[in-house]
Structures are given as C-alpha cells and as structure tokens.
Amino acid sequence: MKDMEPVQLAEGPYREHRLCYYEGLCRTVLTLDKEVPYPDGKLIVSRTDTKGNITHGNQSFVDMSGFTREELIGQPHSILRHPDMPAAAFADLWATLQRGTTWQGYVKNLRKDGCYYWVFATAIPNIRNDQVIGYTSVRRKPSRTKINECTELYARMLAEEKKA
Ligand SMILES: Cc1cc2nc3c(=O)[nH]c(=O)nc-3n(C[C@H](O)[C@H](O)[C@H](O)COP(=O)(O)O)c2cc1C
C-alpha cells in the first residue's frame, strides 16, 4: 500500500494514528469520531485476490468508503482499516477463510474522510477448479445493539493487544 498523505475532508477534531500492517508497512491515518450510518437496503460488496488486494467493489462500497474506484482497485483491503479494530478480528477472518470456510463478523471501517461506518460482513473464499482464486465480502446493516456490544468488546481486545 502506498503511504498516502492523510487527507482532511470533513470538519475536525482529528486524531492521528500510526497504523502498521501485516506486511510491515506503516501509514498515518486521521480519524474523526463521526459515524456515517450504514445505508438502509444496501449491500456493500467487494472482492479481493488471495492476498487481500481489492479487485472489485460495487457502487455502495465505493460510496461508503469515500474513495474513488480508481483509488480502491489494486489496494490492500486494509486501506479501510480503522485503528479501533483489534488485529485479532482480522487474524480470525484470515484463518477462517484459509480453512476454506465462511467468516462473519462486525467491522468498523475507516472512510477516506476519517469518519467511520460499521458493517456486518460475510466473507467467503471464491473457488474455481478446486482452487481458491480470491475472496468476496458482502456487508449488511448491523443492528445498533451489536454495534454497541462490539464497540466495547473491540476496545477491550485492543487494550489487551496494546499491553502485549
Ligand atoms: C474479502 C475481504 C474483505 C475484507 N474487508 C475488510 C474491510 O472491510 N475492512 C478492513 O479493515 N479489513 C478488511 N479485510 C481484511 C484486510 O485484508 C486486513 O487483514 C485488515 O484490514 C488488517 O490489516 P493487516 O492484516 O494488514 O494487519 C478484508 C479481507 C478480505 C479477504
């Protein structure tokens, strides 16, 4: 992933974070404590290659991310990683997908403008001729109750990860 300059697109105050990824690359992201609610009646769909690089996104994916399609295609999916998400959630996602099974979970995603949105994601391996050729994730609107539960759970998990 390119170490993009953080952009300020919405009204502050921003928090600055240094995020380091699995592949060892780091970038600075700016976050705003502002939620963009998941749009009613929409599915947010993206596909990746086997490494997690985005190969396809539907219009709702582009719209909610705040990036253009050109900015998203070819980038690692971690371009949407929010610093409030614990690494363990993604470790579980990858371990589940690599076993060839379906992963479901709640994800807080970072938009280009620093705001966030919650999704309930179902990710599956795409199999052709017995080979995994990539992954698809389809997101639905999460309930407010689950968002509240995950906000607390992920904060506890993140605090544990920071201690370790
Ligand atoms: C199909 C698919 C969809 C994904 N969707 C997201 C997503 O919406 N947000 C996100 O932060 N990570 C998503 N990931 C996980 C990222 O690839 C990555 O593991 C995560 O952002 C954490 O970054 P890291 O693994 O580099 O530490 C997705 C992965 C796959 C395979």
| Average pLDDT value for residue range 139-155 | 98
Q: Are 27 and 74 in contact (CB under 8 A)?
A: no
Q: Is the CB of 137 under 6 A from ligand 1?
A: yes
Q: Is the CB of 77 under 6 A from ligand 1?
A: yes
Report pLDDT digits (tens) over 11-25: 778 889 888 777 777
Tell me the C-alpha distance between 117 and 37, whole Å: 6
Q: Is the pTM of this model over 0.85?
A: yes
Exposed / middle / buried, residue 44 (Cβ in 10 Å: 0-12, 13-18, 19+): buried
Q: How far is ligand 1, taken at its centre, from the CA of residue 44, in Å? A: 14
What's the one-letter identity of residue 138?
V
pLDDT band at 93 (very low <50, low <70, confident <90, very high): very high
C-beta neighbour count of 123 within 10 angstroms: 22
Q: Is the CB of 64 under 6 A from ligand 1?
A: no
